Amino acid sequence: MPLLARSVQAPLHIIVRRGAVADLGQILADGRISAGGDVAVVVGPGLGERIVELIRPSLRSADIFTTTGGTLDAALELADKLRSRPYDAVVGIGGGTTVDVAKYAASRWGLPMISVATSLANDGIASPVASLINDGLKGSYGVHIPFGVIIDLDFVETGPDRVNRGGIGDAISKISALADWELAREVRGEPVDGLAVSLARMGAEAVLTMPGDLSDDAFATVLAEALISSGLAMAVCGSSRPASGGDHEIMHAIDSLYPGTASHGELAGLGALFCTFLRGDERRFVQISECLSRHHLPRVPSDVGLTHEQFVEVVAFAPRTRPDRYTILEHLAMSPDEISRKLATYVEAVAAH
């Protein structure tokens, strides 16, 4: 993955609450974002279009663009359309794929971008990364961090429960990613950014120990803030290191070998639990396992429809998805037979908790 633009500039506006989309007009009136109200609004199917109707009176001279598919081609096509007239800003409204397309297109022309997320699926809400499909494979592209982030819990509540629960898996996977970063420091002398670590860790720890579930506004708010903190952590250090380790290598490997298996967050949580087991960290393993179980997220390969043999193939392939990254998977450098034995023991350990 290319290096991200290193920046300590946080979003100018972060709003997480019910009815938050009503503040979009006020945010756009901020002279640092839009001087004249000429904005491009990017929506996906469904909730994005519904939100546009609610905020249309405050958009003044906005143009509406619809995008689908979450592909690099779609993002490049949108970027071309943004040249039709001089926009002050881009507003991306919808799920992760819509927001990522808007982030990439806005970054092509250096335009400030406002993220209006309708789900809590992953940390793309506020990250300097756009995950886009190119030639059938999902890749990660460095972009500017959003200038504003709005998460309206009214719309999150009406979204697919499974999509939002996936965000829990992505949030707590940072615990595993940070352990991998520390391992790389110990073994290879890789520098670690303390502020990025703190931002990523505090959100992950909050979700890991927070009581309640997504039906509770307090829990949903903590999850939203954790995902935003993860995005800020990446912006601070200029890479996805604080948010992506062996857990995401496993996720990307599943996406490559068995696309459509499960969501980003579901696979990240599963990968984090497996990598934590490989590290022999019993306390963390129990914590993460109990959290995934409490929120009905997958913990073993069969939970996402993968066989023992398929998951062995995934783990063996995983390091190739991030050849520049050192994680517990690279550290152990297991053969397929060793992976198979570890996996069998891992499934037994999960069953015991």
Cα 272 from Cα 276, distance rounded (Å): 6
Confidence at 4, pLDDT banded by 50, 70, 90: low
Is the pLDDT reported for residue 216 higher than 90? yes
- Maximum distance among all alpha carbons in the chain? 63
Looking at residue 8, what is its pLDDT?
45
Report strand pairing: 137-142 vs 129-134: antiparallel
Confidence at 102, pLDDT banded by 50, 70, 90: very high
DSSP string, 249-277: HHHHHHHHHSTTSS-HHHHHHHHHHHHHH
Is the pLDDT reported for residue 6 higher than 50? no
Cα 131 from Cα 180, distance rounded (Å): 22
Q: pTM for this structure?
A: 0.91
Query: By percentage, how much of the chain surpasses pLDDT 70?
Result: 93
The helix or strand, by DSSP H or E, that contains position 73, with its residue range, turns out to be helix 72-81
Confidence at 307, pLDDT banded by 50, 70, 90: very high
Is the pLDDT reported for residue 83 higher than 50? yes
